[in-house]
Amino acid sequence: MRYAHEVGKVRAAEQALMARLPEGTLMRRAAAGLASACARLLPHVYGARVVLLVGGGDNGGDALYAGARLARRGAAVEAVLASAKAHPGGLAELRAAGGRVVNDAERALDTADLVIDGLTGIGGAGGLREPYAALARRTAHVEGVVVACDVPSGVDAGSGRVDGAAVRADFTVTFGTYKPGLLIDPGAAHCGVIELVDIGLGRDLPDPDVVSPWPEDLGVPRPEPESDKYRRGVVGVLAGSERFTGAAVLSVGGAVHGGAGMVRFASAARPVELIRQRWPEAVTTVIDPRPSALERIGRVQAWVVGPGLGTDRGAETLIEAVLRTKLPVLVDADGLTVLSRRRDLLYREAPTVLTPHAGELARLLGGGVTREEIEARRLEFVRRAATELAATVLLKGSTTLIAEEDRPVRVNPTGTPWLATAGTGDVLSGLAGALLAAGMSAIDAATAGAYLHGLAARIAAGDPIDPAPGLEAPISAYDVVTALPAAFRTLA
């Protein structure tokens, strides 16, 4: 896992460590890591033109000390001071190493091979003021590599919120631990490649607030030699209607390719017929919307309910019947709309996974919360939803977040903007439901489902690891279904 800590905890850990070290040691450790990373990004340090954007805080000091190290290796280092309160020790060391302070920021940036953003640090909140904002905007037009020190200026380190101008870095060197805002959009989109530099905070850091998994963290079950379809997990899917049939095909596809030992699908006659044609391995049942309908479907180990089901009284009856069971349930799409008016159905002992996008979560929370507010403060609202709704909440979007009460929020590191197309959420619901049926906990199934779903989309669109901008191809939801086996193979 990549572990991220809120700003207050990072500050407390830094203070505890600094109390045991000679003055200035921590800043010099950070500067050494920053300078080393910058040196690797330059073809040649000797003769390279390096520009430091220096604010009045500790990040400005980090940049100055790093600049001094690069200057001693032969780089031509110039510092642009955005504040009269630049770190005195760092400034003196830069000058002693041959670096200089310049006033013409435009000229310096025009000729820079590398720019170090040391304008603001993890304590920055709210929009950047001038001249910080103007310098942040100007970095978007430099030809050299832009390296952010700890966190790109203008990005809220605790949440990823961006209010106004912000540096968009090619590379971010962060110190001691990740910060949540580096992993969550819109802030994550400003970071580029992130490198963590160990400055010795380890034993002083408490439990993380946010985590992001590596493939080896997912724990996806693998069939054993003695496995059969029942041991691998039977997932029941209630999706689709006479009017909305595609959601049924896609959610069952996600479950079939999500490792389920068996998929039991139940719905109206038309979607059942389509499932029989497209997914003949699924066991299908035509049902009417009545509480006793589940008795005809057969034994399952988890339920997926909602995609394309509709929001009328009949759909509500089926959703209520599923949520009255003692089995894990994943609710998506139309099911979430029903729950926005029937939140009482969420008071249950068995695990419940909700997979809303921001608009659906706004309806679930009510109280005048808007989609725009949720998009701007995703971390805050996914935590609130997990508590208020007594469920595991997977908030879909440019950064998918998974939350349970009193646990670190999980951030999904995979995905592509091409996922923003109709039906991909239905695929995710079937996939995560299959993992639930296989015996994974609610938060683990949601985490692994989001990871594999995002990776399958990358595979379908182009490069699965680091898609080059402009070289990916548009994808459909069905493309994600067919790429799931390749996504699973990457976990071997």
Of the residues 183, 212, 241, the one at which a domain ends: 212
Instruction: Give the tokens for residue 457.
Output: 């989309």
Q: Please give the average per-residue pLDDT across 20-49, as a whole number.
A: 96
Per the annotation, does 334 bind a ligand?
no
pLDDT tens digit sequence for 244-256: 999 999 999 999 9
H-run or E-run covering 395: strand 392-395
One domain, residues 253 and 167: no
Per the annotation, does 426 bind a ligand?
yes
Please report which confidence band the pLDDT of residue 465 belongs to, taking 50, 70 and 90 as the band edges. Answer: low
One domain, residues 285 and 168: no
Per the annotation, does 254 bind a ligand?
no
Q: What's 409's domain CATH number?
A: 3.40.1190.20
Per the annotation, does 121 bind a ligand?
yes
One domain, residues 179 and 239: no
H-run or E-run covering 480: helix 477-489
CA nearest neighbour of 173 among 155, 198, 199, 147: 147
Per the annotation, does 117 bind a ligand?
yes
Per the annotation, does 398 bind a ligand?
yes
Per the annotation, does 479 bind a ligand?
no
One domain, residues 205 and 299: no
Instruction: Give the tokens for residue 301.
Output: 């180990």
Please tell me the distance from the alpha carbon of residue 166 to that of residue 124, in angstroms, as a whole number: 11
Please tell me the distance from the alpha carbon of residue 490 to that of residue 470, in angstroms, as a whole number: 24
Of the residues 190, 212, 234, the one at which a domain ends: 212
pLDDT at 229 over 80: no
Per the annotation, does 312 bind a ligand?
no
One domain, residues 240 and 127: no
Domain of residue 254, residue span: 215-489
Please report which confidence band the pLDDT of residue 242 belongs to, taking 50, 70 and 90 as the band edges. Answer: very high
Q: What's 15's domain CATH number?
A: 3.40.50.10260
One domain, residues 136 and 191: yes
Please report which confidence band the pLDDT of residue 13 belongs to, taking 50, 70 and 90 as the band edges. Answer: very high
Please tell me the distance from the alpha carbon of residue 286 to that of residue 300, in angstroms, as a whole number: 16
CA angle at 432 for the pair 388 and 422, rounded to the nearest 5°: 90
Per the annotation, does 430 bind a ligand?
no
Q: Please give the average per-residue pLDDT across 457-479, as a whole number.
A: 78
pLDDT at 323 over 80: yes
Per the annotation, does 159 bind a ligand?
no
pLDDT at 148 over 90: yes
H-run or E-run covering 51: strand 49-54
Per the annotation, does 261 bind a ligand?
no
Please report which confidence band the pLDDT of residue 127 belongs to, taking 50, 70 and 90 as the band edges. Answer: confident
- What are the distances in angstroms from CA 237 to CA 81, 141, 329, 376, 430? 60, 50, 10, 33, 8
pLDDT tens digit sequence for 392-425: 999 999 899 999 999 999 999 999 999 999 999 9
Of the residues 182, 212, 242, the one at which a domain ends: 212
Please tell me the distance from the alpha carbon of residue 143 to that of residue 133, in angstroms, as a whole number: 19
Per the annotation, does 454 bind a ligand?
no
Per the annotation, does 462 bind a ligand?
no
Please report which confidence band the pLDDT of residue 264 belongs to, taking 50, 70 and 90 as the band edges. Answer: very high
Domain count, the chain: 2
- pLDDT, the chain, mean: 94
Q: Please give the average per-residue pLDDT across 457-483, as a whole number.
A: 81
Per the annotation, does 335 bind a ligand?
no
One domain, residues 265 and 322: yes
Please tell me the distance from the alpha carbon of residue 76 to that of residue 363, in angstroms, as a whole number: 56
- Looking at residue 466, what is its pLDDT? 56
Per the annotation, does 158 bind a ligand?
no
pLDDT at 434 over 70: yes
Per the annotation, does 156 bind a ligand?
no
One domain, residues 129 and 248: no
One domain, residues 436 and 359: yes
One domain, residues 269 and 410: yes
Residue pointed to by tokens 């008016």: 341
Per the annotation, does 127 bind a ligand?
yes
Per the annotation, does 153 bind a ligand?
yes
Q: Please give the average per-residue pLDDT across 204-222, as a whole number.
A: 95
Per the annotation, does 110 bind a ligand?
no
Q: Write down how long the chain is.
A: 492
Per the annotation, does 57 bind a ligand?
no
Is residue 308 within 8 Å of residue 245, measured between CB atoms? Answer: yes
The percentage of the chain sitting over the pLDDT mark of 90, rounded to a whole number, equals: 90
Per the annotation, does 124 bind a ligand?
yes
Q: Please give the average per-residue pLDDT across 353-370, as a whole number.
A: 96
- Looking at residue 231, what is its pLDDT? 78
One domain, residues 181 and 46: yes
pLDDT at 227 over 80: no
Q: Please give the average per-residue pLDDT across 423-443, as a whole number.
A: 98
Q: Please give the average per-residue pLDDT across 200-219, as a whole number.
A: 95
Is residue 115 within 8 Å of residue 150, measured between CB atoms? Answer: no
One domain, residues 207 and 138: yes
Per the annotation, does 56 bind a ligand?
no
Please report which confidence band the pLDDT of residue 144 belongs to, taking 50, 70 and 90 as the band edges. Answer: very high
Is residue 80 within 8 Å of residue 74, measured between CB atoms? Answer: no
pLDDT tens digit sequence for 172-192: 999 999 999 999 999 999 999
The percentage of the chain sitting over the pLDDT mark of 70, rounded to a whole number, equals: 97
